[in-house]
Chains A and B, each alone.
Chain A
Amino acid sequence: MENQLILEDYLKSDYKYGFETAIATETIPPGLNEDIIRLISHKKNEPEWMLEKRLKAFKIWQRMPEPDWAKLSIEPVDFQSLIYYAAPKAKPALQSLDELDPEIKATFDKLGISLEEQKVLAGVAVDAVVDSVSVATTYKKKLAELGIIFCSLSEAIREHPDLVRKYLGTVVPERDNFYACLNTAVFSDGSFVYIPKGVRCPIELSTYFRINTMNTGQFERTLIIADEGSYVSYLEGCTAPMRDENQLHAAVVELIALDHAEIKYSTIQNWYPGDKNGRGGIYNFVTKRGICKGPHSKISWTQVETGSAITWKYPSVILKGDHSVGEFYSVALTRNFQQADTGTKMIHLGANTRSVIISKGISAGNSQNTYRGLVKFSASARGARNFSQCDSMLLGSHCGAHTFPYIESNCPSAVVEHEATTSKISDDQLFYLRQRGLDMEKAVGLVVNGYCREVLQQLPMEFAVEAQKLLSISLEGSVG
């Protein structure tokens, strides 16, 4: 009994990364219409074709209904009250990190992700996005020597229009869904990666996103192309400052893997989840999808989701090339009044395609945590296989865990294996650890990290350490 109370008490802690950076920000008036879209496109010096693409998406979006099928309860978003573009005030291009706005640098320091440290210690090139515009890019030269392009999407639209035009919107077309369509119309910025034929990207590419201006909807757009026989590992991590209003975050990520190429995409998502009583927090409605276009290609999604008031995302893989592989490893932790509806879609088109789904949900407080996944085999997917494992862990007795695994098979030779478990964190496990000198907080942290291990070990080393810390911090509370 007592144990239960301590546990509950202690899962109600506040968000540790709540602060706001006071930097000069340039914004446009709130609201959404064709003029705003023209203004965004103009501010970004975009070519005509991009503007047309945006306007076309906007026309479609206006006729689309907001989706309501997820197991989420959502306060309606007033799209006319949002600001669709905000950028740190224009400054001359940076020659080195020393020229970075000290305020922005301080923010990164507070988050423990100082750029220098990352450069020196981890060998990670960081394309830092503060409020939608890239302000610092490192390692660009080294990557350029290998022919790797790693820049903001805005820059790519100007500098590499052929590549962008060829692939943008091919995996997530504007009609795909309401939020992806909105994103196509108003996306602010994001990252662009191109790995040329046969090149193995020597470093982990990494982007930190931040939402920083009041009432700014954040519409990131990321496009990653791995050409034949290439390899890239991309890391995306997010934290956001504390505030009361709900903020909409509707990103789109598209991955394209050509013959024998491999893309590994890792995410740590820690947007502001709202306070203990469920006020505020980010709406995280993201469309992430990759296509294994060529034979023997591979796309692997790994995500650690601890933030946002509402998370709604299904990083998916279209397995088109024969023998291609799709993977989805997920940890979703919800507490207080957070809601998460997340999972994946594995669409098997090619022969002998394989997919693996490992999903670990952890619910605490009054939160709701849903796994929703689709495994689909088309008639052409001869010999295709899927393995799915969906585990849920409940901490406390006011939370919910739900699993909706959908399977559609039009191919008799396809094989699917599915396992699902639901468990409560056991008092015996906690007592065992406490008897060995660990306090409640550490004991919960170790049990939860153990439970998530299969997923965490998919992350690149330095990211895995960060994720473990994040899980422990997220569970930290007022105990002791």
Chain B
Amino acid sequence: MSKKLLEIQNLRAGTEDKEILRGISLAIQPGEVHAIMGQNGSGKSTLAYVLAGKPGYEVFGGSVWMNGKDLLSMEPEERAGEGLFLAFQYPVEIPGLNMSTFLRHAVNEVRQYRGLDPLDAKNFLKLVREKVQELGLSSDFLKRAVNAGFSGGEKKKNEILQLLLLEPSLVILDETDSGLDLDALKQVTEHILRLKSPERSFLIITHYPKLLEYLKPDVVHVMDDGQILCSGGWEVVKDLEEHGFENIRQSVLNAP
């Protein structure tokens, strides 16, 4: 039996009294790339937020296990320590908070959670400068305030930079392709591709198939109205592209 990285069982969740996720089940093995496709309002981003533990979302039923631990009972920062990383669709600006201060705190908190010694200032700077260069960002990027005045592309690259530094085992990409032109999309995707490894899994949330063409998911789930309509391989993406959501919905609903 293979060891599951993430197992979602019949998850029902939403905001206050409104149930948005109506019984989601899926399992991700280490190294797998899963994609969730679905239209706006289908509950894709809610799933990402519930997994990351965003305050304001409530769980009504079901369970989520990560590395065999009860994910839903953990604080958001503990989930990050466990290796869950959410690349935000709209990374928030934090005026005045210097990028390098932020990154140093984040890296060392996560290291501490994982039982590693904190990086000293010198080693941290060496590491972070290397990654900044890798992403083709300028060196004064680290002196800027977190996401403040960043272009769309810079914001997404900043998410990737954090991903590189925090070395998560489960990466959730929430509409990482939104707001990027084709060139920027290609660049960002290339960086993500390089992050693929047998120990690292991805859950990619998108409603455009473009990103998936590069990332080649192992499993594709189609989400509709808080439920998974169907799951499958690359053929599901093709199917979606050719026939659209509505057709798939009809064919699933009419299936015997």
Contact = CB atoms under 8 A, between A and B. Distances in A.
Contact of A432 (B79, B88, B95, B166): B88
Contacts of B85: 435
Contacts of B79: 435
A478 interface: no
Interface string B32-58: 000000000000000000001111100
A427 B92 CA distance: 10
A126 to B, nearest CB: 27
A450 to B, nearest CB: 3
Residue among B80, B94, B101, B105 facing the most chain A CB atoms (10 A cut-off)? B94
B101 A434 contact: no
A454 B145 CA distance: 12
A10 interface: no
A449 interface: yes
B214 to A, nearest CB: 25
A450 B94 contact: yes
B124 to A, nearest CB: 14
Given A434-B76, A435-B86, A446-B102, A429 B94 contact: yes
Contact of A428 (B53, B92, B98, B105): B92
Interface string B165-201: 0100000000000000000000000000000000000
Contact of A451 (B52, B88, B95): B95
Interface in B66-107: 75-77, 79-81, 85-86, 88, 91-92, 94-98, 101-102, 105-106
A451 B162 CA distance: 22
B80 A434 contact: yes
Given A447-B94, A453-B96, A437 B77 contact: yes
Contacts of A438: 77, 105-106, 109
A410 interface: no
B110 A437 contact: yes
A469 to B, nearest CB: 13
Contacts of A433: 94, 102, 106
Nearest to B81: A437
Interface string A53-64: 000000000000
A426 B55 CA distance: 12
B162 A436 contact: yes
B13 to A, nearest CB: 14
Number of chain B interface residues as a range: 20 to 34
B105 A435 contact: no
Given A3-B55, A427-B55, A431-B54, A436 B95 contact: no
A419 interface: no
Contact of B77 (A426, A427, A434, A446): A434
Nearest to A2: B55
Interface residues of A, number: 26
A440 B94 CA distance: 15
B129 to A, nearest CB: 19
Contact of B101 (A2, A446, A451): A446
A461 B166 CA distance: 30
A435 B87 CA distance: 9
Interface string B193-230: 00000000000000000000000000000000000000
Nearest to A360: B96
A161 B145 CA distance: 51
Contacts of B52: 431, 435
Interface string B128-144: 00000000000000000
A89 B127 CA distance: 56
Interface string A411-444: 0000000000000001111011111111110100
A446 B55 contact: no
19 contacts: A1-B56, A2-B56, A427-B55, A428-B92, A433-B94, A433-B102, A434-B75, A434-B80, A436-B110, A436-B166, A437-B106, A438-B106, A439-B77, A442-B105, A446-B94, A446-B102, A449-B97, A453-B95, A453-B145
Give the 9 A-B CB pairs with smallest separation, nearest first.
A450-B97, A450-B96, A453-B96, A3-B55, A437-B110, A436-B106, A434-B76, A437-B109, A437-B80
